[in-house]
Amino acid sequence: MTCLILFYEFFKVGLFSFGGGAGMIPLIEEMVTKYSWLSEEEFYNLIGICESTPGPIAVNMATYVGSTQAGAAGSLLATLGVVLPSFLIILLVASVMKSLTENRWFRGFMRGVSPVILGLIFSTGAILMLKSLGYVSLREFRPDITSLTILLLLAGFFFLLPKLTGKKVGAVPLILFSAAAGIGVSVLYEALGILS
Amino acid sequence: MLLSLFSVFFRIGLFTFGGGYAMIAQIREEIVEKRKWLTEGELTEIIAIAESTPGPLAINLATYVGYKHGKVRGSLAATVGVVIPSLVILYLISLFLDSFMENRYVAYAFTGIKCAVAFLILKAGLDMLPTLERRPVPLILFFTVFLLMILFELFSVTFSSLLFILGGGLIGMLLCAVGRRGEGRK
């Protein structure tokens, strides 16, 4: 049963995710919270893992969630679910419907979808940023000095390094740096007694 | 042919990090420069198609290139090839992650990674910002969705963003219909 739900839910993600990895994060987040498959914390950890391992993020997420909920069969079915819509649609486009992307109704649909996706991406990023800084609920804000320090270090790394070396910072170096900063800052603050 | 489709896309799946656009450079090198399976123009066209169809970019590309060179069997070989590395790697990680997370330093590392993820999501948004049409309806859609999602989060309202996506699409099609009638009147 879980396997079928996994397949169905990831099929939906595959069918409605436009605009690459970041666009599907809100969809997957709603799904894993709805079924209590992952806690919020676990979900954000998982995004970090999926961004720093090779391959498409959606496939990585499907495999992981599937495996933790229903073992090897679950990971296979969730992955199949997320891949199948793209596979079928592209087969259609490549074989018979070459003009799909020139169809005015389809173009109209996409013109309405793109700004929505962008809104979803920005709200997801902004909410996560607020939460890392210590937002708990409307009545509770526990300022997280560790995360604030790490964010400042990340911003420095991200904006200063390209100026010094002339190269853009990719996702993997950024994540590796953030992991090192996470350990360094936590240990330092613990030693200074800022963290209990 | 099937075997080389499989192995090339297997390599792409294994060595491309960061998903989507980060993969394009590598796919270009393998498919256009080395193998000449596509011309530069064809690749641009496929990327445009992949952007306006749902699903992960790498899957869309693999299916398309596979179909062009080996019909349905080719597209299967390429798609399976690009998926297998993820499937194996994340399956292995899923077996060990829980015990791994109990380590204090690993948990610290993830405090940092969580910040990087927020950073990367916002950056993906900023990178896509130039594609936002500077016209009233798209701008209103963008700001409404952004504000509503944040309000829903603050007031713990459960809402499926699928409805936003479908709603946006419908509004887009509606505008298309209105535009057509307007043209008719002229």
pLDDT along chain B (186 residues), means of 10: 91 75 73 85 78 84 90 95 93 88 87 87 84 90 95 86 90 87 48
- Pick among A6, A15, A121 to test the B interface (most B CBs inside 10 A): A121
Average pLDDT, chain A: 87
The length of chain B in residues reads 186
Structure tokens at B154: 């603050």
A50-79 pLDDT, tens digit per residue, is 887 888 889 999 999 999 999 999 999 999
Looking at the partner chain, which of B22, B116, B128 has a beta carbon nearest the beta carbon of A118?
B128
**What is the token pair recorded at A127?**
């909410």
Q: How far is CA A18 from the centre of its chain?
A: 13
What is the helix (H) or strand (E) element at residue B7, kind and residue range? helix B2-15
For B165, half-sphere exposure in the C-beta direction (CA atoms, 13 angstrom radius) is: 20
User: Tens digits of per-residue pLDDT, A178-190?
Assistant: 999 999 999 999 8
Among A residues 104-163, those touching chain B with beta carbons less than 8 Å apart: 104-129, 132, 137-138, 146-147, 150-151, 154-155, 158
Amino acid B36: pLDDT: 87
Quote the CA–CA distance of A7 and A52 in Å, as a whole number: 25
State mean pLDDT over A159-168: 82
Please report residues of A whose CB lies closer than 8 A to that of B47: none
**pLDDT at A145 exceeding the cut of 80:** yes
For chain A, domain boundaries? 2-132, 141-192
Task: Give yes or no for A75 touching B (CB within 8 A).
Answer: yes
Helix/strand/coil for A36: coil
Q: Which of residues 20-59 of A touch B (CB under 8 A)?
A: 20-22, 25-27, 30, 34, 44-45, 47-59
The alpha carbon torsion through A177, A180, A185, A186 (nearest 10 deg) reads: 140
Give the CA-trace dihedral at B117, A30, A32, B56, to 10 degrees: -60
Contact flag B164-A183 (C-beta cutoff 8 Å): no
Residue A93: which of B53, B137, B173 has the nearest Cβ? B53
How do the domains of chain B map onto residue ranges? Answer: 2-97, 132-186
